[in-house]
Amino acid sequence: MVKNNTADSIEPLQKGETLIPGYTVIYHMRRGRECDVYYVWSGERMTGCIAKIIQPEALDNEIVRKRLIKEGKTLTALSHPNLVRGYEIVAEPVPVLIQETLTGETLSHLVRNLDKQGEKLPEKQIAHLGMQLCSVVHYLHQNNLLHLDIKPSNLISQPPLAKLIDLNLSASPGDVRKGVGTKQYMAPEQARGDALTTAADVWGIGAALFFAATGKRPFQSFEDGRYEQLERSAEPVRTHRDMDEGFADLIDRCLQTETPKRPELKEIHAFLTSFVNA
């Protein structure tokens, strides 16, 4: 499956090589700490697909293996217009998750490109994205799942749709391992290791909308293991951008440290829907 060029270097597969039977590599997209992502050709479907596979250095990690299989089973069982579609999960000999191809760009890439041009994402576009994000997160919650890793790089802008990807860290509400998520975007209760509720994903939505509006992360990532969101409150959105006061206030409320002070998903969705249609 992979080529071992040297004792210390395991390179990704190249174009034309077989990932697993039925799937041929078109190109390697990226390598993460746990997984490789490839664009592959599906002989059965006669089209390109996205394949997520455990990267060579993590092959012996049983936790990673179980997590990818769980993600695959979840994605192939769920269906929502704003959720990436999972086609199948192949469990043996190495877990591989086959997903639909998305043609848009991540929110992170979109906002940073606009920032380079001295531009900001229009407020109505942010609201439209947030409205769709609320819809899919509500769907996950209805299926007893918290996403727990909502961030700009896990949101694909594919007009007119926004797509949420990567359920690798998703879990049922309750006790979840401390620090699950991405440091700059995780809720304080995730950082502390508290029992988690749907409010953790409301924070994630707020953090993603904060970035969409300002081009800045709400919090930084410290190298020494500290979490900035446990040391200070989020800065008001209007510190960084002049925007509709009600919209800015909604984002600020999503990033309240105390979970009861955060709005419910239905309230966020209703406000954003009215804003888009105004």
CATH number at residue 200: 1.10.510.10
Report DSSP state, residue 259: G
Average pLDDT in the 43-55 region? 96
Tally of domains in the chain: 2
Last residue of a domain, one of 81, 99, 117: 99
Contacts of 147 (CB under 8 A, 6+ apart): 137, 140, 164, 167, 169, 170, 201, 204
Tell whether 129 and 266 lie within a shared domain. Answer: yes
Beta pairing partners, 31: 36
Same domain? For 163 and 252 the reply is yes
DSSP 117: T
Q: State whether 67 and 87 are in the same domain.
A: yes
Please give the pLDDT value at position 93. 86
* Of the residues 58, 84, 99, the one at which a domain ends: 99
Are 121 and 215 contained in the same domain? yes
pLDDT tens across 138-186, in order? 999 999 999 999 999 999 999 899 999 999 999 999 999 999 999 999 9
Domain end point (choices 46, 70, 99): 99
26 close to 41: Cβ distance less than 8 angstroms: yes
Query: How does pLDDT run across 61-90, given as a tens digit for each residue?
Result: 999 999 999 999 999 999 999 999 999 999
Same domain? 212 vs 161: yes
pLDDT greater than 80 at residue 5: no
Residues 109, 205: one domain?
yes
The residue among 180, 162, 52 whose CA lies nearest residue 111 is 162
Domain that holds residue 218: 105-277
Do residues 74 and 83 make contact, with C-beta atoms less than 8 angstroms apart? no
Which of the pair, 6 or 107, is modelled with greater confidence? 107
**Together in a domain, 117 and 173:** yes
22 and 50 assigned to the same domain: yes
DSSP state of 221: B
Map tokens 């000999």 to a residue: 93
Q: What's the one-letter identity of residue 112?
A: R
Q: Which pLDDT value is given to residue 172?
A: 97
Do residues 70 and 189 both lie within one domain? no
Q: How confident is the model at residue 221, as a pLDDT? A: 85
Indicate if 226 and 241 belong to the same structural domain. Answer: yes
The 10s digit of each residue's pLDDT in 196-250 is 999 999 999 999 999 999 999 999 988 788 999 999 999 999 999 999 999 999 9
| Whether the Cβ atoms of residue 97 and residue 105 lie closer than 8 Å to each other | no
Is 7's pLDDT higher than 90? no
Q: Do 81 and 111 fall within a single domain?
A: no
- The CATH number given to whatever domain includes residue 72 is 3.30.200.20
Sign of CA dihedral 269, 108, 181, 209: negative
Please state the rounded mean pLDDT for residues 53-59.
93
Are 116 and 250 in the same domain?
yes
pLDDT, averaged across the chain = 94
